[in-house]
C-alpha cells in the first residue's frame, strides 16, 4: 500500500460526522478493487475481448483526471473522474452486456463501504453507468471525461493474442495503432484524438467502421464540456 493510501486512511474523519475524501490512489491500491478489476478482465479474456485490466482502467483513470484538469475544473471533480475511470469496467465481472449499469451498482457498494459521501458516490456511479457508447450519455462532467478517456484507449498493447492470423477487426485496428494521444487544448477548447496507425495492418476505413459510434460519443462528451472534438490520423485531421 503506498503513501497516499496511508494518507487517505489517516485522514479518516478527524471531525465527528465528516467523511474522509477517497482519493484515486486509494481506489487504485485497494485490494478489493484489484480483485474486481482483475476478475472483470479475466472474464473478458475468456470470451476473447481485448485487454480491459489494470493497464486499461489505469490509463482511463489518468486521462479522465487530466481532461478535466486541463479544462480547469475543480480538483475534486477531477479526482472523481479518476475514481470513475478506474472503476468503469468492473461490471464485466458479472456480464459484458449492460456492464456499465451493473458496474455502477457494484461501485456504489464499494464506495459506500469505503465511506464516500452520497453526492460523490452518485456522481461517480452516473459516470460509470453512462460510459458505454450505445446507451450512455455525458450526464455530468465526470461522465464526459470517462467517455472521452475510455474511447481514446485504442492501442496495440490491448491485443492479447499476437497471432495475426487469428485477428478479428477489433484486434486488427488496435494492433495497427502505434500511438494514441488525447490532446486537450484549453485555450481553443478543443480535444483531439491523435492516432498513429500502420496502414499496412489496418486501413483507416476499418478504424471508422468500428469506431464511428465511439467518435460520436466522444464528440457529444466534448460538447457537454464546452469543447469541440476532432480526430487526427497520421498527422492528418479527419474531422
Ligand atoms: Fe466498458
Ligand atoms: Fe473501458
Q: For residue 147, report the distance from its CA to the centre of ligand 2, in Å.
A: 9
pLDDT the model gives residue 9: 41
User: Residue holding cell 477487426?
Assistant: 169
Ligand number with the minimum distance to the CA of 135: 1
Q: For residue 51, report the distance from its CA to the centre of ligand 2, in Å.
A: 9
pLDDT tens digit sequence for 161-206: 766 656 777 777 777 888 899 999 999 999 999 988 887 777 777 7
Q: For residue 52, report the distance from its CA to the centre of ligand 2, in Å.
A: 6
pLDDT tens digit sequence for 130-152: 999 889 999 999 999 999 999 99
pLDDT tens digit sequence for 118-129: 999 999 999 999
Q: What percent of the chain has pLDDT over 90?
A: 65
Residue partners of 88: CB distance under 8 A and separation at least 6:
57, 60, 100, 103, 127, 128, 131, 146, 150
Q: For residue 88, report the distance from its CA to the centre of ligand 1, in Å.
A: 6
Q: For residue 74, report the distance from its CA to the centre of ligand 1, in Å.
A: 26
| Residues that place a CB less than 5 A from ion ligand 1 | 89
Q: For residue 90, report the distance from its CA to the centre of ligand 1, in Å.
A: 8
Which DSSP letter does residue 90 get?
G
Specify the higher pLDDT residue, 116 or 202: 116
Which DSSP letter does residue 53 get?
S
Q: For residue 130, report the distance from its CA to the centre of ligand 1, in Å.
A: 9
Q: For residue 11, report the distance from its CA to the centre of ligand 2, in Å.
A: 30
Amino acid at each position: 500500500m503506498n503513501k497516499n493510501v496511508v494518507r487517505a486512511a489517516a485522514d479518516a474523519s478527524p471531525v465527528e460526522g465528516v467523511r474522509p475524501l477517497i482519493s484515486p490512489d486509494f481506489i487504485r491500491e485497494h485490494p478489493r478493487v484489484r480483485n474486481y478489476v482483475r476478475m472483470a478482465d479475466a472474464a473478458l479474456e475468456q470470451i476473447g475481448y481485448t485487454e480491459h485490466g489494470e493497464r486499461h482502467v489505469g490509463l482511463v483513470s489518468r486521462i479522465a483526471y487530466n481532461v478535466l484538469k486541463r479544462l480547469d475544473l475543480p480538483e475534486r471533480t477531477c479526482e472523481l473522474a479518476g475514481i470513475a475511470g478506474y472503476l468503469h469496467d468492473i461490471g464485466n465481472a458479472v456480464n459484458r452486456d449492460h456492464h456499465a449499469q451493473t458496474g455502477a451498482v457494484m461501485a456504489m457498494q464499494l464506495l459506500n463501504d469505503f465511506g464516500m459521501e452520497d453526492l460523490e458516490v452518485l456522481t461517480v456511479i452516473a459516470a460509470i453507468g453512462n460510459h458505454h457508447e450505445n446507451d450512455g450519455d455525458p450526464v455530468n462532467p465526470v461522465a464526459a471525461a470517462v467517455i472521452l478517456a475510455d474511447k481514446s484507449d485504442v492501442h496495440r498493447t490491448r491485443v492479447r493474442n499476437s497471432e495475426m492470423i487469428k485477428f478479428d477487426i477489433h484486434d486488427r485496428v488496435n494492433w495497427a495503432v502505434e500511438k494514441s494521444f488525447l490532446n486537450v487544448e484549453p485555450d481553443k477548447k478543443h480535444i483531439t484524438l491523435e492516432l498513429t496507425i500502420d496502414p499496412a495492418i489496418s486501413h483507416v476505413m476499418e478504424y471508422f467502421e468500428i469506431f464511428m459510434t465511439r467518435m460520436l460519443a466522444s464528440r457529444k462528451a466534448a460538447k457537454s464540456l464546452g469543447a469541440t472534438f476532432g480526430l487526427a490520423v497520421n498527422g492528418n485531421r479527419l474531422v
